[in-house]
């Protein structure tokens, strides 16, 4: 196959982003059928084996027909960071491009997209001891107290992070406790590095990058989809899936895999902290909160985005046109 190149002289790279339950996978599969591309998953839960239902992972038959890179890579006990994703993705993008195909990155983990586009300052790696201290504080005093403690040392991060987002609260406070440097200060370093990288002749990504985002025009439509999908996950056996993870004995809520939306709520149900009805309700609420955070990331994106309406029957053709234009 002839290699695909762009008019800029740089090879094309397409990022398909969007909130959860917006229809990214269906759109990616259509593009795979129509264009010489390879799919690279940008999802912090799909990397884990044995976490299929709650992550809305395509089934084995679909994955055989539409192979995805960066799916089923790790055991749930293993950590996976944005920095590691960036390294893995850059290597894959280079390989895919060398094969004369277009890398199509698809997913909703916006921090991973940000890491790829702008790099990451070398923030401290996760510290299990510090994280355990924070978890203990949260159990004793509640997450609002941890959020308040974060506000004392890093008010900018506390203002940016919702009080009902324990994973990001924990990480921001952990960074400060472990390094003595706030997450805001690390981000300032990152911006400085990015500015240096963008001096002439040193582009962050040596590709012609196009960004697509798919979402329903009406937020209420997405909320309905989220509620329906979480109910379907429960019908498909999400509780049994989490029971199998729980029975292993080597996993707990301090791990990113178990803190994932849906899994955390079912885990709390299995440990008796939530009733079935509470678990169901909180699973839906947590997923809606995730979608809201994803929209916040997208609204603040620094590069132009081609927005597609999930309900627009012409969204497939519009997305294909973006790929074709990027590859001319």
Query: What domains can be seen in the chain, in order of their start residue?
Result: 12-121+204-218+302-326 (3.40.50.300), 128-187 (1.10.20.140), 220-291 (1.10.287.890)
- Among 113, 63, 120, smallest CA distance to 93 is for 113
Give yes or no for a contact between 234 and 39, defined as CB atoms under 8 angstroms apart: no
Beta bridge partners of 69: 40
pLDDT of the residue at 302 = 86
- Among 286, 251, 222, 311, smallest CA distance to 54 is for 286
Strand residues in 18-77 grouped as ranges (E):
37-42, 68-69
pLDDT of the residue at 1 = 34
pLDDT of the residue at 327 = 79
pLDDT of the residue at 199 = 42
pLDDT of the residue at 202 = 36
pLDDT of the residue at 42 = 98
- Among 213, 210, 209, smallest CA distance to 308 is for 213
Element containing residue 223 per DSSP (H, E):
helix 219-236
Give yes or no for a contact between 86 and 115, defined as CB atoms under 8 angstroms apart: yes
Tell me the C-alpha distance between 181 and 64, whole Å: 45
pLDDT of the residue at 189 = 75
pLDDT of the residue at 19 = 97
- Among 322, 307, 327, smallest CA distance to 23 is for 307
Q: What is the DSSP letter of 173?
A: H
Sequential DSSP letters for 256-304: TTTTSTTHHHHHHHHTTSS-HHHHHHHHHHHHHHHHHHHHHHHHT-SS-
CB atoms within 10 A of CB 311: 12
Structure tokens at 200: 């002439």
Tell me the C-alpha distance between 38 and 69, whole Å: 8
Give me the residues of the chain with pLDDT under 50, please: 1-3, 5, 198-203
Using a CB cutoff of 8 Å and minimum separation of 24, what contacts does 120-125 make? Answer: 120/82, 120/83, 120/86, 120/190, 121/186, 121/187, 121/189, 121/190, 121/193, 122/83, 123/83, 123/175, 123/179, 123/183, 123/186, 124/174, 124/175, 124/178, 124/179, 125/81
Residue 168 neighbours by CB under 8 Å, 6+ apart: 161, 162
Tell me the C-alpha distance between 57 and 196, whole Å: 38
Structure tokens at 18: 């969007």
pLDDT of the residue at 197 = 52
CB atoms within 10 A of CB 202: 9
> For tokens 């009805």, what's the residue?
277
Tell me the C-alpha distance between 56 and 22, whole Å: 12
Give yes or no for a contact between 100 and 63, defined as CB atoms under 8 angstroms apart: no
The sheet carrying 12-17 orders its strands as 68-69, 37-42, 102-107, 12-17, 208-215, 305-309
């Amino acid at each position: 196959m002839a290699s695909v190149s762009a008019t800029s002289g740089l090879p094309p790279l397409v990022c398909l982003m969007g909130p959860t339950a917006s229809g990214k996978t269906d759109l990616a599969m259509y593009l795979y059928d129509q264009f010489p591309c390879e799919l690279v998953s940008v999802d912090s839960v799909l990397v884990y084996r044995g976490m299929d239902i709650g992550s809305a992972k395509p089934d084995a038959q679909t994955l055989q027909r539409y192979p995805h890179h960066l799916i089923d890579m790790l055991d749930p006990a293993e950590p996976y960071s944005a920095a590691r994703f960036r390294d893995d993705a850059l290597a894959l993008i280079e390989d895919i491009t060398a094969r004369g195909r277009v890398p199509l990155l698809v997913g909703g983990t916006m921090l991973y997209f940000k890491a790829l586009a702008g790099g990451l300052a070398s923030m401290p790696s996760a510290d299990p001891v510090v994280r355990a201290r924070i978890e203990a504080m949260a159990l004793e005093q509640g997450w609002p107290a941890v959020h308040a403690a974060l506000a004392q040392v890093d008010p900018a991060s506390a203002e940016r992070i919702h009080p009902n987002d324990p994973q990001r609260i924990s990480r921001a406070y952990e960074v400060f406790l472990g390094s003595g440097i706030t997450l805001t200060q690390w981000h300032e370093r990152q911006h400085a590095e990015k500015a240096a990288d963008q001096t002439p002749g040193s582009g962050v990504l040596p590709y012609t990058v196009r960004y697509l985002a798919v979402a329903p025009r009406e937020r209420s439509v997405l909320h309905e989809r989220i509620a329906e999908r979480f109910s379907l996950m429960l019908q498909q056996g999400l509780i049994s899936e989490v029971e199998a993870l729980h029975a292993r004995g080597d996993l707990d809520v301090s791990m990113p895999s178990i803190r994932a939306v849906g899994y955390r709520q079912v885990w709390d149900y299995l440990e008796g902290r939530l009733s079935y009805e509470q678990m169901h309700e909180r699973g839906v609420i947590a997923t809606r909160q995730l979608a809201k955070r994803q929209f916040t990331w997208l609204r603040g994106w620094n590069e132009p985005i081609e927005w597609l309406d999930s309900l627009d029957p012409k969204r497939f053709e519009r997305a294909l046109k973006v790929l074709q234009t990027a590859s001319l």
